[in-house]
Amino acid sequence: MSKKLTSRAEDYSKWYNELVVKADLAENSAVRGCMVIKPYGYAIWEKMQAELDRMFKETGHKNAYFPLFVPKSLFEAEEKNAEGFAKECAVVTHYRLQNDPDKPGKLRVDPEAKLEEELVVRPTSEAVIWNTYKGWIQSYRDLPILINQWANVVRWEMRTRLFLRTAEFLWQEGHTAHATREEAVRETELMNNVYASFAENFMAIPVIKGVKTESERFAGAVDTYCIEALMQDGKALQAGTSHFLGQNFAKAFDVKFANKEGNLDYVWATSWGVSTRLMGALIMTHSDDNGLVLPPNLAPDQVVIVPIYKSMEQLDEISELAQVIISELKEKGVSAKLDDRDTLRPGAKFAQHELQGVPVRIAIGPKDLENRTVELARRDTLTKEIVPLDTLTGKIEGLMEEIQVSLYKRALEFRDDHITEVDSFEAFKEVLETKGGFISAHWDGTAETEAKIKELTKATIRCIPVDAKEESGNCVLTGNPSSKRVLFAKAY
């Protein structure tokens, strides 16, 4: 295995692929397009899950679980949704294998075991869920229903990349039912705000909250809200979406309720999700040419202690000290571990922990024992300093917050530097080619113009920012009047 990671400048996409594998986050599997998430990668995902789950519950949601399979007849009920996902559905047609009479030792699909009705492997769960909600909802008293599920979904992608686009991925999908349009819209916005706050405060990833244009909207939604993040290579990445589904699914699945006045009305719906794609966003926001950089909130180990020793006696002495440090840190809510593997030398450990993004590293050697100090190294800045033992744990506690904030600030600065306002199509192309990032420009509001710009530049409208200010201008392509700027970018 080569020791050095390909640099970002050399080949960003290669850098990403190597990093995911070398940092032991995930690898490709024997199944086309499907990844194996390795323990270290999964530990980071679990941190995300835990925080999101907490936030969902805090906003009144409960977890439940719905089936992996969707009977085709249910799947096709909401036409737009079905049509949108049709091209990428895996379908179960049989329920049994048998020994192949022609090839001893081999199995074949039993031709007798064809399913009456094919089962679609869920690309998303609206269909099963709304079919279920139909049985749960009669009256306004049954509303709202605020449910989330943690699940895997399958979308048969042509080109896959670890975390960013895989045929199977893990996510959460919230599905809520409401009595009024206003309440459902509020829920949609609330959850988009939850995502934004999670991304910014927990993952240290600045995001732009916005609304999707019609062509980028979720199939079956009335409105799709999103959070858009900017990666280091200047490409945008949709990090989360929240959909106002109107009454589309209620109508498709005939879900009506009696309101307070005794009139029947269709239920209003939302759905919202974030996926393991966030791992990709995390990597491409903070990491550097030395490897992964983790914000303390997401680091499986926030601090690692590397002992430097010649004799076993020294190791014992260092280990004893390390245990004291570890338990003091634990009291302060900081997770730390001692890397006492005797199979690697210190330098190799430094390199590995750097590659894996551990926020803070402590090295303790004979000199430190003598001086009552340690060497403290920050992953985000790659700086080192000698710290006296008696101020160590307090300093680290503060560092956790400092690193978290500084990563966010660094990413925010980069992001803000890469939002460029342009007022001509020439400038649009110029900025896109030379600088990348988001381009803030006027758009005449038509799908035709959007498509034309995509065809000419490969950039799409990432969103209409929710805080976009009213400003009269002219469409960057057609010159037609426009009332606000939208954000364009090349996207993942």
**Chain positions contacting RNA, by CB under 7 A:** 1-5, 13-14, 17, 28, 32-33, 87-88, 155, 157-161, 164-167, 169, 216, 218, 238, 241, 275-277, 290, 308-310, 342-343, 345-348, 350-352, 354-355, 361, 363-369, 374-375, 377, 382, 384, 458, 491-492
- Measured from the CB of residue 414, what is the shortest distance to RNA in angstroms? 21
- Measured from the CB of residue 172, what is the shortest distance to RNA in angstroms? 12
Neighbours of 148 (CB within 10 A): 23
Q: CA 246, 248, 250, 256 torsion: positive or negative?
A: positive
| Closer residue to RNA, CB minimum distance, 308 or 422 | 308
| Closer residue to RNA, CB minimum distance, 159 or 260 | 159
- Measured from the CB of residue 24, what is the shortest distance to RNA in angstroms? 11
- Measured from the CB of residue 351, what is the shortest distance to RNA in angstroms? 3
> What does 423-449 look like in DSSP terms, one character per residue?
-SHHHHHHHHHHT-SEEEEE--S-HHH
- Measured from the CB of residue 149, what is the shortest distance to RNA in angstroms? 16
Q: Which of 191, 193, 241 is nearest to 221 (CA)?
A: 241
| Closer residue to RNA, CB minimum distance, 26 or 145 | 26
- Measured from the CB of residue 258, what is the shortest distance to RNA in angstroms? 35
Q: How far apart are CA 211 and CA 241, in angstroms?
A: 9
| Closer residue to RNA, CB minimum distance, 276 or 482 | 276
Alpha carbons within 13 A on the beta-carbon side of 488: 35
Distances (CA, A) of 132 to 65, 89, 129: 11, 21, 5
Question: Mapping DSSP to helix (H, G, I), strand (E, B) and coil, where does residue 257 land?
Answer: strand
| Closer residue to RNA, CB minimum distance, 226 or 267 | 226
The first and second tokens of residue 153, run together, are 């979904």
| Closer residue to RNA, CB minimum distance, 277 or 442 | 277
| DSSP state for residue 139 in the 8-state scheme | B
| Closer residue to RNA, CB minimum distance, 88 or 430 | 88
- Measured from the CB of residue 95, what is the shortest distance to RNA in angstroms? 23
The residues, ordered by sequence, that sit 6+ positions from 460 with a Cβ below 8 Å of its Cβ are 216, 450, 453, 454, 488, 489, 490, 491
> What does 286-316 look like in DSSP terms, one character per residue?
H-BTTB----GGG-SSSEEEEE--SSHHHHH
Q: How far apart are CA 380 and CA 204, in angstroms?
A: 12
- Measured from the CB of residue 333, what is the shortest distance to RNA in angstroms? 25
* Amino acid identity at 52: L
| Closer residue to RNA, CB minimum distance, 299 or 308 | 308
Q: How far apart are CA 156 and CA 235, in angstroms?
A: 23
